[in-house]
Structure 1
Amino acid sequence: MDFSLLLVVAVAITGLIWLADRLWWRRGRLARLAAVEAEAQEPVEGGARERLLKEPWPVDYARSFFPVLLVVLVVRSFLVEPFQIPSGSMRPTLEVGDFILVNKYAYGLRLPVTHTRVVELGEPQRGDVMVFRFPSEPSVNFIKRVVGLPGDRVRYEGKQLYINGEAVPKALLEEGPAAAPRELLLEERLGERGHLIYNNPQDPGPQVREVVVPEGHYFTVGDNRDHSNDSRYWGFVPEENIVGRAFAVWMHWDGGLPSFTSVRRIQ
């Protein structure tokens, strides 16, 4: 189910009903009131006046919901959209059950439903945590870290990421952390930006010979390197599939009571 499409349809229907009432139907109610007053030769007051001017229930609902739906559509389409993390592919940066906020204008303004970029404001940067529509199934949203920009040469061998022939620095922080006893916790640095990743020493993981990222595309990987379905398996993310940049965790919910103790910025 495409929530954006439903929202656009709801805004269109409520907006048209509200507009039709302002342009035509309300005038009809006022004309009926004026006719009754002319016949009675006195103003109509109280309950009788309210009955004559009473809006039909579709108009009443449209007038109430249209501004609310319009604000939600604008905010969700052009400013910020919430998402829930359904898998562990971005651990330890993001945990299953994290609710995140995604900046919808960081990479340009896009129309809802069609996803056409109408205003260019920026491009993904190496190290960004990006939400995008899965290339082979656009109805499904993925979240991964951008490591390869258009024109970059990317290689992944022996659990080491290489960008343009240089190994991306990483340092071991802990072996078998409590949150993931079978993993190695490392800090990886893409330029000046550092972030945490997991590597499983028992899993050889995928091997990717050097590939060149095409223009208008991006190479993405999960921080949970040996448990992530990402560009190492299915290729590049087209620019038109981009949704936005994830920038904050605002709530965590694992089925019990929602928790706000893990509110944080996404590195």
Structure 2
Amino acid sequence: MTDPETADPSNDASRAVHQARGEQMLGSMKEGLRTIVGAVLIALFLRSFGYEPFNIPSESMLPRLYVGDYLFVAKWPYGYSRYSFPMGPPIFEGRIAGSAPERGDVAVFKTPSDNRTDFIKRVIGLPGDIVQMRGGALYLNGDAVPKRRVADFVVPQSPNMACLKGEVFVDESGERMCRYLRYEETLPGGRTYFVLDSDPASPGDDTAPFVVPEGHYFMMGDNRDNSSDSRFSIAEGGVSFVPAENFVGRAEIMFFSTDGSASWLLPWTWVSAARWERIGRLF
């Protein structure tokens, strides 16, 4: 005798509908997964071979870079090394393609102390150069780099501007401001940039001569009184000489900047905290 339920055509139709829905859901999930994986692969490709975003966490590159600046670093100018890729996988040694960093470039690199932490400094010494600081003046290969006093660097104090090594004062409107002594340096070849140097007794103002080894670079922060750079050994908290392999890329463009006063829970403060005049600046 036939079971009425199994013989009912409507049950077969219902099972077919459920099966079709299940297959449709499974197909949608697979399509969604393929889309996510594809997007991740595209992002990894662009990050590894094109541009990578970085934010500035310290005042070591004042006055060029503020805490709270966000910038894109280009990967291709210096070519590629293991540190061009996420997590720095040991897939090959040295660098391939690209050109050598140039004196005066603002570059991101992995600090030699752990080959993991990102630092951003200015390229000062090339392989074979002799670099020395004397009384706060920079010397390259025995010659003083021209250093000209210019107008003070004055900027509002904010959560992202602690004014370390600077002078804090209140202006006529009652706003707290930071003031630093500012100078213009001109490297061999004519490249100019501003540095801060307010402390005449800064530990990095007088050093022994450094001879930059082959395949390495001498990096310095523009804020000479507050930068852990190649003037200091790794044991002293600096970076010493930076191997060419450790370069990640060259700073290219600022895409956002905030003074740190915004609250994530108060979206309207995101606008007032943004430093709009800094966005879009090139290096």
Q: CA separation in 1, counterparts of 2:36 and 2:63?
A: 40
Higher relative contact order (CA 8 A, sep 6+): 2
Which of 74, 77, 82 is 2:48 aligned to? 77
Counterpart of 1:114?
89
| 1:126-184: CA deviation from partner (whole Å, max 9, x where unpaired) | 0000101111122211100000001111111111111111111121112x432354531
Equivalenced residue count is: 225
Q: Specify the SS of the correspondent of 2:277.
A: coil
Q: Alignment partner for residue 143 of structure 2, among 160, 163, 166? A: 166
Alignment partner of 1:265 is 2:281:
yes
The one-letter code matched in structure 1 to 2:279 is V
Structure with more helix by fraction: 1
Q: Match of 2:225? A: 226
Q: Deviations over 1:82-140 (max 9, x none)?
A: 00100000000000110011011110023523264563211100000010111112221
Partner amino acid, structure 1, of 2:45: V
The gaps in structure 2 that reach 5 residues or longer are 1-11, 156-165, 168-178, 234-239, 263-269
State the SS of the aligned residue for 1:106: helix
One-letter identity of the residue aligned with 1:187: E
Q: Which moved more, 1:62-71 or 1:48-57?
A: 48-57
**Measured at CA, do residues 69 and 56 of structure 1 come closer, stay the same or move farther in structure 2, by a change above 3 Å?**
same
**Unaligned stretches of 5+ residues in structure 1:** 1-39
- Mean Cα deviation higher: 63-72 or 103-112: 103-112
Instruction: Return the letter of the residue paired with 2:203.
Output: G
Q: Normalization by structure 2: what TM-score?
A: 0.72
Counterpart among 180, 186, 191 of residue 189 in structure 1: 186
- Write out aligned runs for 1:74-113 (5 A): 74-111=45-82, 112=85, 113=88
With the length of structure 1 as denominator, give the TM-score of the two structures: 0.76
Cα shift readout 1:186-228 (whole Å, capped 9, x = no counterpart): 1111122111110114434322221210011000000000110
Residue matched to 1:214: 213
The AA in structure 2 aligned to 1:218 is: Y
- Correspondences of 1:119-198 after superposition (within 5 Å): 119-174=96-151, 176-179=152-155, 180-181=166-167, 183-190=180-187, 191-198=189-196
C-alpha contact 2:109 2:247 (8 A) present in aligned 1 = yes
Matched, 1:247 2:252: yes
1:56 Cα deviation after fit: 6.6
Counterpart residue identity of residue 205, structure 1: P
Deviation, 1:254, is 2.9
**Cα–Cα, structure 1 residues 76 and 202, in superposed 2: closer, same or farther, change >3 Å?**
same
Aligned-partner Cα distance in 2 for 1:219–1:118: 18
Name the SS of the counterpart of 2:71 in structure 1.
strand
